[in-house]
């Protein structure tokens, strides 16, 4: 491997460009190759990395060589075919979330990759400063055994992307896969348990109802409640609204255990901790937190930069990914189960959507 880690970026739309910016802020790496079938997207990325080789097809980039690591930031529905080609090369790869749009496609990638593949799933919410502080506090036992995890995301509608691909569930896996795999991953990580049952209610009530693309009206949910039961006895709840941008904090994460409660607020970047018997309502410890050394804040409050630092270090040291294929699979599985719960108006066992996954173990 070269002294400078050379990256190939497959997919140079909004998130691909975000990855380029993060890599250009990172020491010891360079953007060596770019790939996108959309001429406009490719031109935008090329202007940022004029020395990079450019390709319209990912197979051509892989055949061209000259890279030590890859980032896949293409539309969700393309992940499975691209990853099946990528894992054959043995190159380390960071793939944007969700891993794939369906559980069977996730399983195909896991089987093809094998147990030792360096495939890192881009679940960067783990690295937002306040959320990372909350995760550390829970792992340290600050609130005792985890009983409840509540996550609220109140935000703006889905952003415009090339060809409006993200307006359609067939392309994204649905909102609860596309967007909410982040939150199901956090629940899985925080509880350190396996999700076993999902109950959900959601709809498309406000966003994109007056839009038409190629004769089709968008069909993505814009609000939902999702309850997840875990085999540890813990429970998780997601409160999602994508027409609630008139708010102070976009994400609020709360974890309650036997000993107390810890909260993370984003973008306020605050961790609040209350211990039973020591604190009371209105009187808790509140700690501002920052990710030190972040050179590019970007679209996710510096968390993508932290993720790239850790991915680079893992590649150079030969260690495995922190958010691996199994984490990607389980985060998708909960989203798929949530959509099925809404469609069929019933609780859904996660094992219903995980058929064929017996060898995949727990989420991490």
164-194 tens-digit pLDDT: 999 999 999 999 999 999 999 999 999 999 9
**pLDDT band (50, 70, 90) for residue 360:** low
Tell me the average pLDDT across 300-320. 96
Assign residue 268 the CATH number of its domain: 3.30.360.10
Tell me the average pLDDT across 313-320. 95
Per-residue model confidence (pLDDT) at position 213: 87
Question: In terms of residue numbers, what domain contains 131?
Answer: 126-291+324-360
Tell me the average pLDDT across 286-295. 93
Cα–Cα distance, 271 to 286 (Å, whole number) = 6
Per-residue model confidence (pLDDT) at position 2: 54
Within-domain flag for 114: yes
**pLDDT band (50, 70, 90) for residue 355:** confident
Q: Are residues 150 and 285 in the same domain?
A: yes
**pLDDT band (50, 70, 90) for residue 363:** very low
Per-residue model confidence (pLDDT) at position 364: 41
Which of 75-84, 96-105, 131-140, 349-358 is predicted least confidently?
349-358
Q: Are residues 176 and 78 in the same domain?
A: no
Q: Are residues 89 and 131 in the same domain?
A: no
Residue 94 pLDDT > 90, yes or no?
yes
Tell me the average pLDDT across 14-33. 97
Residue 93: phi, psi to the nearest 5? Answer: -145, 140
Cα–Cα distance, 123 to 140 (Å, whole number) = 22
Within-domain flag for 309: no
Residue 72 pLDDT > 80, yes or no?
yes
Q: Are residues 143 and 267 in the same domain?
A: yes
Please report where in the chains the tokens 């590649």 appear, as a residue. Answer: 315
Per-residue model confidence (pLDDT) at position 357: 62
Q: Over the chain, what is the mean pLDDT? A: 95
Tell me the average pLDDT across 212-237. 96
Residue 283 pLDDT > 70, yes or no?
yes
Measured CA to CA in angstroms, residue 270 lies from 132, 161, 245, 265 at distances of 11, 31, 19, 5
Residue 94: phi, psi to the nearest 5? Answer: -105, 115
Tell me the average pLDDT across 285-313. 95
State how many domains the chain has: 2
Q: Are residues 151 and 106 in the same domain?
A: no
Per-residue model confidence (pLDDT) at position 165: 95
Q: Are residues 165 and 246 in the same domain?
A: yes
Tell me the average pLDDT across 115-121. 96
Interior CA angle at 255 toward 193 and 195, to 5°?
25
Whether the upstream peptide bond of residue 98 has omega within 30° of 0, thus cis, is yes
Q: Are residues 31 and 106 in the same domain?
A: yes
Within-domain flag for 175: yes
pLDDT in tens, 123-158: 999 999 999 999 999 999 999 999 999 999 999 999
Which of 118, 132, 128 has its CA nearest to residue 324?
Answer: 118
Interior CA angle at 98 toward 347 and 73, to 5°?
165
Per-residue model confidence (pLDDT) at position 292: 86
Q: Are residues 223 and 76 in the same domain?
A: no
Q: Are residues 137 and 200 in the same domain?
A: yes
Cα–Cα distance, 233 to 231 (Å, whole number) = 5
Q: What number of other Cβ atoms are within 10 A of residue 320's Cβ?
A: 13
Tell me the average pLDDT across 77-96. 98
Return the CA Rg of the chain: 20
Per-residue model confidence (pLDDT) at position 359: 52
Cα–Cα distance, 141 to 262 (Å, whole number) = 11
Tell me the average pLDDT across 80-99. 98
Please report where in the chains the tokens 């991490």 appear, as a residue. Answer: 364
**pLDDT band (50, 70, 90) for residue 362:** very low
Q: Are residues 179 and 102 in the same domain?
A: no
Q: Are residues 138 and 15 in the same domain?
A: no
CB 356 within 8 A of CB 104: yes
Residue 52 pLDDT > 50, yes or no?
yes
Within-domain flag for 308: no
Q: Are residues 171 and 217 in the same domain?
A: yes
Instruction: Give the end of a domain, one of 83, 106, 124.
Output: 124
**pLDDT band (50, 70, 90) for residue 57:** very high
Q: What number of other Cβ atoms are within 10 A of residue 164's Cβ?
A: 17
Instruction: Give the end of a domain, one of 96, 124, 152.
Output: 124
Instruction: Give the end of a domain, one of 76, 91, 124.
Output: 124
């Amino acid at each position: 491997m070269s002294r400078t880690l050379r990256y190939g970026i497959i997919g140079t739309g909004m998130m691909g460009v975000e990855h380029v910016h993060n890599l250009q802020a990172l020491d010891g790496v360079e953007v060596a190759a770019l790939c996108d079938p959309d001429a406009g997207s490719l031109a935008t990325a090329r202007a940022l990395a004029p020395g990079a080789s450019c390709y319209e097809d990912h197979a051509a980039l892989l055949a061209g060589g000259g890279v030590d690591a890859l980032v896949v930031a293409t539309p969700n529905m393309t992940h499975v075919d691209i990853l099946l080609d990528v894992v054959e090369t043995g190159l380390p790869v960071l793939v944007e979330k969700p891993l794939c749009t369906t559980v069977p496609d996730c399983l195909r990638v896991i089987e093809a990759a094998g147990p030792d593949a360096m495939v890192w799933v881009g679940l960067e919410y783990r690295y937002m400063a306040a959320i990372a502080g909350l995760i550390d506090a829970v792992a340290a036992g600050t609130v005792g055994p985890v009983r409840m995890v509540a996550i609220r995301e109140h935000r703006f509608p889905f952003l415009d992307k090339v060809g409006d691909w993200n307006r359609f569930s067939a392309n994204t896996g649905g909102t609860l896969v596309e967007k909410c795999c982040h939150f199901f991953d956090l629940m899985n990580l925080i509880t350190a348990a396996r999700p076993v049952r999902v109950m959900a209610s959601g709809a498309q009530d406000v966003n994109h109802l007056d839009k038409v693309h190629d004769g089709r009206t968008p069909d993505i949910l814009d609000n939902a409640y999702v309850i997840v039961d875990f085999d540890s006895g813990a429970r998780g709840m997601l409160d999602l609204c994508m027409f609630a941008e008139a708010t102070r904090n976009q994400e609020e994460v709360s974890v309650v255990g036997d000993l107390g409660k810890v909260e993370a607020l984003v973008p306020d970047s605050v961790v609040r901790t209350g211990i039973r018997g020591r604190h009371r309502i209105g009187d808790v410890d509140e700690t501002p937190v920052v990710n030190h050394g972040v050179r590019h804040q970007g679209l996710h409050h510096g968390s993508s930069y932290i993720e790239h630092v850790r991915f680079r270090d893992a590649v150079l040291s030969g260690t495995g990914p922190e958010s691996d294929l199994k984490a990607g699979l389980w985060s998708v599985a909960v989203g798929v189960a949530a959509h099925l719960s809404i469609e069929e108006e019933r609780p859904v066992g996660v094992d219903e959507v995980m058929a064929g996954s017996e060898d995949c173990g727990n989420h991490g």
